[in-house]
Amino acid sequence: MSDADLIPAWEDGQLRPLDKLDVHRRGLRHLAISVFVTDGDAVLLQRRALGKYHTPGLWANTCCTHPHWGEPAEDCARRRLGEELGIVGVLPEWRSRVEYRADVGGGLIEHELVDIFLVRAARDLGLAPNPAEVMDTEWMGLAELARDTEARPERYTPWLRIYMRDHATGIFAAPVGA
């Protein structure tokens, strides 16, 4: 097992580095990050690669992952933007921390305590999607995304549906003073 297979999760009330697949099989609460790259009122979505161990082929927010043991959330967000989409040199802005629990199929449960980040960028920021992670990308207006996640939920990951339904205002509202 590599360090990449270990994620920070709670077991017996203590945060520990545990095997990622075991954490999801047992539905243990664990740390995660999610990033939304926006250009005005549009958000960059990714369609998860068909080889992903859960929710393959579904549309998700720009990127998400679990931090390595001891890795700060913001560092993880920057790392994963590069690994999944080739996006570098951006500054993720912390927006919120949310917790959710969702069945992601195949006997796996995501029970995440998620630090959510927003990146403001132009659509021409330059993408180099990693085909092992991402099969497609698309910019979509926030209003359209909110409507579509309700109308066609089967196209989207459970967490994106939860974010749009329950947390969109906290994620996408302009910060005070902006």
- The residues assigned a catalytic role are 64, 112
Q: What are phi and psi of 114, to 5 degrees?
A: -110, 130
With 0-12 / 13-18 / 19 or more C-beta atoms within 10 angstroms meaning exposed / middle / buried, residue 80 is: buried
H or E segment to which residue 144 belongs: helix 142-151
Q: Give the number of other Cβ atoms within 10 Å of residue 171's Cβ.
A: 20
C-alpha 29/C-alpha 8 separation (Å) is 9
What is d(CA 132, CA 134) in angstroms, rounded to the nearest whole number? 6
CA distance 74 to 117: 8
- Residue 112: enclosing H or E segment and its boundaries? strand 108-120
The one-letter amino acid code at 90 reads: V
Rounded Cα–Cα distance for residues 56 and 149 (Å): 17
